[in-house]
Structure 1
Amino acid sequence: MKQRNRTTMGTIAQQRKAMLFMVLCAVMWSIAGIFIKWISWNPLLIAGARSILSAAVIGIFMASTGRKLKINKYSVCAGIGLSGSCISFVIANKLTTAANAIVLQYTAPIFILLFSAFLFKRKLKRGDISVVLATTGGIALFFFDQLSPGSIVGNILGIIAGFFLAVMFVCVGQAAEDDSVRMSGILLAHIFTSLVGICSLLFVDFHTTSLELLYVIILGIFQLGIPYVLYSIASKHCPPLACSLIGTLEPLLNPVWVFLFDGEAPGLYALFGAIVVIAAISAWCVWQNKSLKA
């Protein structure tokens, strides 16, 4: 009995630690918008530069923990998906508000549901259909604000970022949640993004300041690299529902930092749209968790 109690207490302690890591992870992810706004570089170059540093952090973590780089169709496709999401997200941040970019990227679960229905022939339940409809309505509200052509393109790229992120999750899921495949996919994503950024130097003018270099270092190491390491550790012990709900801190905090430090605020329709999207996906996560336990 004492041994069982110690085991239970140990499991609870591990879960609490994992949930704390997820909170730190979400908070660190959320600083992307403000630093991207403060860097004057071409967005492809920003994405590539931060990914070089992130790839170094993740590579060191994998080497130090004995995780081997796995190159297969799942890790490569996951890498392409995450790379596409990173690039689209950075460009979206430059064209539309940070709130629009992050909330529209957060629609990834909706694309996962659609992939499941149309590619894997999984029958959608009423709850699945409801969240798709609610989220679609929320997305539509983003386009009711008085937007410039650039902002409209930015919103579309935010949705594309969500689509690519869903591709990454689906590919990892097909690999039966193999941790090595997931980490390899993340590492490959940053390598691919780095290559895109390096190639962009051939087509864009480049000038910078020491402060912008500091911002890129913060993005690469503290906004991407370390959070992915924390996520890898946390995902082993943090319940999936907790991971999903704690993850909502990112789209909630990202626009807050930008508003506080840069004065940028989303439009009224976009604000209502964000509430609809985040609430619908969070409610769906809770409903799905109950369905799995039933």
Structure 2
Amino acid sequence: MSSTTYKSSREISHTLGLLFVFAAGVLWSTVGLGIRLIEEANVWQILLYRSVALSAFLYLIISLRSGENPLTQACRSGLPAIVAGLALVAAYSGGIYSIQVIPVANALLLFATAPFMAAILGWVILRERVRAATWIAIFVAIGAIAIMVSGGTSVGAIDGTLAALGAALGFAVFTVALRWGKSGEMLPAVFLSGLFAIILTSLICTFQGLSLVLSARDAGLSMGMGVFQVGAGLVLYTLGSRTLPAAELTLLSLAEVLLGPFWVWLFLGEDSSYRTLLGGSLLLAAIIGNALSGARFKPHLPTDFEV
């Protein structure tokens, strides 16, 4: 193969990687709109139906890609995969609840703090070095969060904010667990999280007397989010992340944060407060600055994605 042909193939691969990761961000950005369109189902019912669809979708995808049972792959990873799966269940639960009770923009911006939480957890647990620029970005992010939540003093606002931060922590634990297990493959762990979520939400719904049968609208939206918003987004991100450096992945993932509030404004008329806009701008600046200052030409494990 000539050098010209080789360069062209690399450029095409990089272009497709950009498109795949951006498309993943677009799909993930619809989570707020999808949950807002739910009429009656609560967080546990939504998560149950979404997890059933997600697990079935990932079972098919992983089986076709590897020719192996996804559960076998997840079990081979051992304890790290179990921790990662349980962390995602907590992230899913907190994410769905927070979007139900606080503005979508606030929730998505709080989710975006997951990389900073992962950096701190990696430093404490795995003894990974945290760059000076990342520490600066973390402190800026803390200030940004303080600005965003300063106007919300109601019980619902406080609960929703804590749930969103809990979701971000769940994503961070998921990332650190994958690093702990030295796994570059996240789909089996996500598949395992779907199974855990099915078991846990079924038990919760049963003990709380919640119906396991949803309306056709709520069931369809929940399962659609499992396949298209979460599942397809993860597959596209996994394919695209193999060809892109960490900085580009971080910047492209901001499509989720930026587009999420746009969809609910466009279709539902939900606006953002000036505190959210100010704090969100500072947070996005911290994320972008950290990504650009630490640009390295190698893929990395994802640190935030859909709820």
TM-score by length of 1: 0.92
State the AA in 1 paired with 2:196.
Answer: F
State the AA in 2 paired with 1:175.
Answer: G
Q: State the match for 1:32 in structure 2.
A: 31
Q: Structure 1 residues 262 and 147, CA, compared in 2 at 3 Å: closer, same or farther?
A: farther
Work out the CA distance in 2 between the residues paired with 1:48 and 1:238: 33
Q: Structure 1 residues 30 and 204, CA, compared in 2 at 3 Å: closer, same or farther?
A: farther
Alignment of 1:168-207 (within 5 A): 168-179=174-185, 182-202=186-206, 203-206=208-211
What secondary structure does 1:41 align onto? coil
State the AA in 1 paired with 2:272.
Answer: P
1:252 paired residue among 258, 261, 280? 258
Work out the CA distance in 2 between the residues paired with 1:173 and 1:205: 37
Work out the CA distance in 1 between the residues paired with 2:200 and 2:54: 15
Q: State the match for 2:288 in structure 1.
A: 282
Work out the CA distance in 1 between the residues paired with 2:130 and 2:13: 34
Q: Structure 1 residues 125 and 234, CA, compared in 2 at 3 Å: closer, same or farther?
A: closer
Work out the CA distance in 1 between the residues paired with 2:152 and 2:88: 30
Q: Which one is further off, 133-142 or 35-44?
A: 35-44
Shift of 1:283: 1.2
Q: RMSD in angstroms over aligned alpha carbons?
A: 1.9
1:126 paired residue among 126, 132, 143? 132
Work out the CA distance in 1 between the residues paired with 2:121 and 2:41: 35
State the AA in 2 paired with 1:108.
Answer: A
Shift of 1:122: 4.0
What secondary structure does 1:145 align onto? coil
Q: State the match for 2:48 in structure 1.
A: 48
Shift of 1:21: 0.7
8 Å Cα contact 1:49-1:197 kept in structure 2: no
8 Å Cα contact 2:245-2:297 kept in structure 1: no
**Aligned residue pairs: how many?**
289
State the AA in 1 paired with 2:290.
Answer: W
Q: Structure 1 residues 146 and 233, CA, compared in 2 at 3 Å: closer, same or farther?
A: closer
Q: Structure 1 residues 208 and 119, CA, compared in 2 at 3 Å: closer, same or farther?
A: closer
Work out the CA distance in 1 between the residues paired with 2:34 and 2:297: 39
Q: Which runs of 5+ in 1 are unaligned?
A: none
Q: State the match for 2:63 in structure 1.
A: 63
Alignment of 1:144-155 (within 5 A): 144-155=150-161
8 Å Cα contact 1:142-1:155 kept in structure 2: no
Shift of 1:197: 2.2
Q: Which runs of 5+ in 2 are unaligned?
A: 299-307
State the AA in 2 paired with 1:153.
Answer: D
Shift of 1:114: 1.1
State the AA in 2 paired with 1:205.
Answer: L
1:243 paired residue among 249, 252, 262? 249
Work out the CA distance in 1 between the residues paired with 2:193 and 2:187: 10
8 Å Cα contact 1:46-1:197 kept in structure 2: no
8 Å Cα contact 2:54-2:223 kept in structure 1: no
Work out the CA distance in 2 between the residues paired with 1:59 and 1:46: 20
Q: Structure 1 residues 64 and 123, CA, compared in 2 at 3 Å: closer, same or farther?
A: closer
8 Å Cα contact 1:26-1:250 kept in structure 2: yes
Work out the CA distance in 2 between the residues paired with 1:186 and 1:277: 27
Q: Which one is further off, 224-233 or 112-121?
A: 112-121
Once the two structures are aligned, what percentage of the paired residues are identical? 21
8 Å Cα contact 2:140-2:286 kept in structure 1: yes
